[in-house]
Structure 1
């Protein structure tokens, strides 16, 4: 079976290479999915270059896939053979076939194609769970940094639909233009340029962005820290809290912390897409032989939205 294997972290031109691997053998409660499309997440590019300490022996990338069940779970759980699905395996999805726990699968209706579905799992699940962590948002002011990323795109649409007033922070006005169409009420290129104070701040950039966003928080407000896309460390001064966000709270967010099964959230995302209430942004669709090129472009921020590769 063909699969994308990690390349050399020292060779930027070959972050992955196509190679041969053994057929996947499902454990109890796992189905085998023939992959039709997968998307590349920024976190996976960090793993490939050694930037995250999550590469275990035999690790291969691939957490967001869509395809067809070709071997149903032996214990009778999950969808039957022949069912179209979207899936969120822990890894190994950039391949012709992958095993997936049935608790991490959702069936696809005919109205949702594999390319669209492949853009949903990690970013969509993160967005759903992030909003749950933030609490009720109707009528509240929300500041979102790193808004032009995959998670930010979904968060913008979901927050706007909840009745909140959302200010989106993006590196450039061009990268954030579509967020206004999705319901953002204001677009700025720095958290420091945001006007007024906010009940909730959703922070994903790190570095200088987090203290700047904290300064825009209402007294007693909530800052949810869910990423560090800049890969720059954060420095906070305790006394800065007395300059405005007195008694504010900072909460660290990890989408895997509360629940490591994802089927229910995937089902909700598919339902929203099918109903026309959620619109994945597909920045590029290419044959999976171009995966290395796509990773290079993602690292250079030359792709806006999700990068989806088709397996044929």
Structure 2
């Protein structure tokens, strides 16, 4: 079968290779991949790939071999899944605890856009607690996580301010109910905020922290700028008192129950995957470069053929 493997080249980070079809462990299903969605964090791993790296976490497709232990969906079931790696291929094995069944109303393209970004948004909101009526600031909002988080938070009653790099990247966020600003200096006029969800790092982290109300919460969930952040203790003394700073990372299987929630929300029309590009997987290398360089709004999805 064909799969995509790292090349270590910045301009062409992956290339096709032939490999044996994977053999599932007892608690895994074999899925014929119809669509997959790369994440920006995966593009960074491809810059200096570790030996043996087989990229690909978010997939959707058809179960062609059910798990030997009897768990999970049966043969012929359409699924969305989130695995540790190896999803950018014609076939992939996925633990059954990290699969969710798809209804006929959700195609593989939209489903593939859900797992990592959608689960991150869902778990991040749980970490933040109740947002109803609370003022929330979200930085780095124009990617896949930001669109899901905006729709979920606004739907839960948050008064959300979203920070994006350009007006064009914020158009859909405004449609979803966010007040969109294009730099943190502009966000200061909207503050202070009960909750700040910070994903860019670098100099933005201390600036965002200064906008939290006394006793509020800052959740740090990314460093998209790829620049280290420094917090000065004496600046904290002059800032809002009693602020909680919490680190967040989405990872932790099982993912199946959260995927079921996301699928249900899409089916009910309460969550809408924002997909900025849909391409054949022969165009994966160029798509990864554009994703890395932030030239794609929302999610990118690659299709292998035969998707529904």
Asked if Structure 1 and Structure 2 have the same fold, meaning a TM-score greater than 0.5 normalized by the shorter chain, the answer is yes
The residue that corresponds to 2:231 in the other structure is 236
SS for the counterpart of 1:309 is strand
Q: Contact between 2:44 and 2:292, CA under 8 Å: does it hold in 1?
A: no
TM-score by length of 2: 0.96
DSSP 3-state at the match of 2:216:
strand
Where does residue 172 of structure 1 map in the other structure? 166
Counterpart contact for 1:34–1:98, Cα < 8 Å: yes
- Where structure 1 has 5 or more consecutive residues not aligned to the other structure, the ranges are none
Q: Does 1:260 align with 2:253?
A: yes
SS in 2 for 1:167: strand
Displaced runs of 4 or more, over 3 A: none
CA distance in 2, matches of 1:109, 1:115: 13
Would you say the 8 A contact 1:192–1:213 is kept in 2? no
In structure 2, the residue matched to 1:200 is: 195
Structure-to-structure mapping, 1:125-136, within 5 angstroms: 125-136=119-130
1:1-312 → structure 2 map (5 Å cutoff) = 1-8=1-8, 11-50=9-48, 57-184=51-178, 186-194=179-187, 195-256=190-251, 259-312=252-305
1:140-165 per-residue CA deviation (whole Å, 9 max, x = no partner) reads 10000001011011000000001010
Q: Which runs of 5+ in 2 are unaligned?
A: none
Deviations 1:90-144 (A, max 9, x none): 1000000000000000000000000000000000000000001101111110000
Q: Is the 8 A contact 1:192 1:216 kept in 2?
A: no
**What secondary structure, in the 3-state scheme, does the structure 2 residue paired with 1:142 have?**
strand
CA RMSD after TM alignment: 1.0
| Paired residue total | 303
SS at match of 2:33: strand
Residue 56 of structure 1: how far off its partner (Å): 5.0
